[in-house]
Amino acid sequence: MDTPWQHTTVLLNEAVEALCIQPDKTYVDATFGRGGHSRLILSKLSAQGRLIAFDKDPDAIVQAAQIQDARFAIRHEGFCELGNLPAQSVAGVLMDLGVSSPQIDNPARGFSFRNDGPLDMRMDPTRGQSVRDWLQEAELQQIAEVIRDYGEERFAVPIAKAIVARRQERGIPAGTLELAQLVAGAVKTREPGQDPATRTFQAFRIFINAELEELEQALKAALHVLEPGGRLAVISFHSLEDRIVKQFIAKHSREVFDRRAPFAPPKVMDLRALDRLKPSPEEVKANPRSRSAILRVAQRLPLPEAAT
């Protein structure tokens, strides 16, 4: 069913080109979203090629059902579950992190501080604890730590105190707009062009969905399922995500020497860092939400003999 909430795929061509599609191979779109990357990958595959997609969002699963293609399969799972695929069975893994525009723009999902909705923020609203349920029981220190660590918000403690005081007086805010107003009242200075609730909402969303923990698991899983020479392409939208991706690629791109055996050969590297790309000025102008995106690309080692 069509909805008024549209999604523009970020770094569409760049991300798919980074995979260096081989038409007869199998690929993974680890975050289907609204299927922009998946559809472009499918257009490059032969009849023997395959695409496996993952997504936790039931709305994304509905969108995926519209793709009537025998080469395509969707799994209603988080992308950390891609490790269940056979080892070295795929030629490329694409991850497009964060929240999609339809999730933000649909007030019923509770991600937006601009339109009123329930305090939910779950990627999969059929599972787990909502933000509202968590705020009902969380201690002040825990709320402050989440806002500080996942939102990089310097006013984390005043915001947490305001939330707890509101809870004690009248209960948790009824919806997202009321929470955003409460946060705005505790933020003393605002960054130009940014709503004062931005960092707090980001923090709650990341925490409630365990996004950073799942990303770490998914990166390890990708290393397990990629065949030699396979490509890993990851699009991140904030520094916490990008730092994890950058450090993961760097860690697995280094030769490791055993100090206990100084003359032994170093441990073989798992990855080779290939590229770091950002959206063009034209893309940012057309889709301002793309401005913070960073695409990192790496290749699984060792390479096939023919490619060495």
pLDDT tens per residue across span 50-99: 999 999 999 999 999 999 999 999 999 999 999 999 999 999 999 999 77
How many domains does the chain fold into?
2
**Any domain includes 66:** yes
Span 16-35, average pLDDT: 96
Residue 64, in any domain of the structure: yes
CATH number of the domain within which 287 lies: 3.40.50.150
Give yes or no for residue 170 having a pLDDT over 80.
yes
Say if CB 249 and CB 24 are below 8 A apart: no
82 DSSP β-pair partners: none
Could you tell me the two tokens for 2? 């069509």
User: Burial, 127: exposed, middle or buried (Cβ in 10 Å; 0-12, 13-18, 19+)?
Assistant: exposed
Q: Is the pTM of this model over 0.85?
A: yes
pLDDT tens digits for 260-307?
Answer: 666 656 667 899 999 999 999 999 999 888 999 999 999 999 888 655
My answer on whether 221 and 299 are in the same domain is: yes
174: containing domain? 133-208
Between 19 and 104, where is the model more confident?
A: 19
In terms of domains, do 16 and 147 share one? no
Q: Is 224 helix (H, G, I), strand (E, B) or coil?
A: helix
Q: Domain with 157 in it: what CATH number? A: 1.10.150.170
Amino acid at 153: E
The 26-29 sheet, strands edge to edge: 72-75, 50-54, 26-29, 90-96, 226-236, 294-300, 271-277
Nearest partner of 152 among 72, 238, 83, 39, judged by Cα: 238
Which residue reads 């990341």 in tokens? Answer: 206
Give the C-alpha separation, 104 to 145, whole Å.
24
Q: Do 246 and 300 fall into the same domain?
A: yes
Residue 216 sits in the same domain as residue 95: yes
Q: What was the pLDDT predicted at 265?
A: 62
Please indicate, yes or no, whether residues 18 and 157 belong to a single structural domain of this protein. Answer: no
Q: Tell me: do 219 and 283 sit in the same domain.
A: yes
Q: Looking at this protein, which amino acid is placed at residue 210?
A: A
